Structure 1
Amino acid sequence: MCGYPARTYGRIVIDAQGLTKHYGRTAAVDEVSFRVGPGRVTGFLGPNGSGKSTTMRLILGLDTPTRGTVTVGGLRFRDLARSLHVVGAVLDAGDVLAGRTAAAHLAMLAAGNGIRRQRVDEVLGVVGLADVSGRRVGGFSLGMRQRLGIAAALLGDPGVLILDEPMNGLDTEGIRWIRRLLRSMADEGRTVLLSSHLMSEMELVADHLLVIGAGRLLADEPIGEFVSRRGESVVRVRGERLNVLSAVLGARADIHGEIGVVRGVSAREIGRLALEHAIVLEELTPVQASVEDVFTELVAAHQQYRHQHWENA
């Protein structure tokens, strides 16, 4: 049994090798291998039922792998002494006894991990709950519970943060706050693993992406590469006689009057075609695919729950 002293952030890596978890005949996680390194925010994406939450539970020792390994700084989570000094995690913001005050909840965690009592007041201030530290958690909103969960995760000044949907329930100011917090944590050299369904926020804060679907790892790469390698070329056009361009390009052009988009054709090629057919273009703007666009396409064949259009339901 051993742990790490505070502020040795650069040495702590989450390392999964062949990680597999079966529930009966169902493989919730199937031969997944990855490394989450320090100094960056790693986004963890997957549709519902993809194995994302199971993977996070395996990292934190809440479930036991059927086979394979996952370590934090070279150790299984259960072998970390005073684990809050190494890993701070939020998997369920509602997992707090409603009758306890915010301060009492954190004081209990601090006492069990050898953390000084003054640290409770410090983290309550960081997350904006200092004024309600004496209130019972049962009266907290979801956003306040999220902040309390993050306070608990920060309590031991850990080198690793693992957060599952921490932005749920937060207002706009709260989302901006947590975005800045995660960025600063990574910039200090900590290892940050962030799960969220808010693709726009992931695009703003993540440096690297892990994508899982049906228990299998589908992508493990920097966010820019994730988009550029898979994103379809999309160009916005505006001008006169776009019906001619639509006739030339067929299904690749989605034209409505004097404006539209063209998919799978470069702006250079569209410009050449416009010149060749005497089409006057007032706008020819390449549009970069979003993380949401690429993610949706990537996991399309790995969805547990599929939606039908309302008219076909």
Structure 2
Amino acid sequence: ERISVATDGAQGDGDSAGATITSDGRLVAFASAANNLTSDNPVTWKRVFVRDRRTGQTTLMSTNTPPIERPVISGDGQYVALWGLLFRDTKTFLSKVSLGRTIGINCPGLSCSQPSLSADGRYIAQVATSGRPPSRQRIEVQDWHADTAEIIAEFEHVTPSRPSLSGDGRHVAYQDGRAKDVFVWDRTDGTTSGPIEGPSQEAELVQLSKDGGKVVYLSGPDTHVHDVGSGTDQLVPDVRGVAIDPTGRYLLYAPNDTDGPSLVLRDLETGTDETVSDRPASAGTDAVSAGGRDVVFQSTADDIVPGDTNGVSDVFVR
């Protein structure tokens, strides 16, 4: 199903990408340069939209700030977070889907970026940098209902250290981008475990499952799925993991072998695979609904669905 379309079904007239999906698979948030998806005044930058697959409604979420990277939608579909430029700095913006507009800016530092949302949108994990130019950063979790924030890590560098938040807001997985280590923080007791990859490897964080039970990370050419409870790892060799479903059972990955499918969904319990796309395609975190039922991805291929004649990147759900 093509997602980057207007409410009347018209295909977008600009590139669309960077999609995330709710746990039930109903709502998809994505960024698009298309100017014909809604009736709002056209602009020259990408904006964020939400597509309701049940009603067929496409709603504009952002108008004044170009998003820098893909938006994030909460698991229940109530909120969308994005980060974009505001004058010279980056800021995190929070929008309420039912209102179709920004309701707040959450950034106590000079610049904020890389937000991750809890299932109900109450908690926001993000990176806040300081200095001009930025020279240090911290990872924090905000409870915007209570107007409080907890700092969980601080670094004297700005190498990407993006966080990934569990659905209940209790756990945060994050990486020290310079040391190439991955950690998990528990807000219940304020403790941090890790590096979860051990002392002899380098790791890059992909995503924490929304149930807080599994952490996907990359090390060398392989993908590892770390069980937070037992501390054990499941190896998925020679693939690049890109997302995990909220239950931690289904891993979306891109094979390193480019001769086969571009995206594959693996059932980590049975070890079975299902092809998501055999055409050139890519996806990011929060791209799989609960139970592996739906997967959202982007592709420039024009033969995934009938009538794709716009010649630009589109967002699809399988």
Q: What TM-score do you get using the length of structure 1 for normalisation?
A: 0.32
Q: Which has the larger radius of gyration?
A: 1
- Higher RCO by CA contacts (8 Å cutoff, separation 6 or greater): 1
Q: What TM-score do you get using the length of structure 2 for normalisation?
A: 0.32
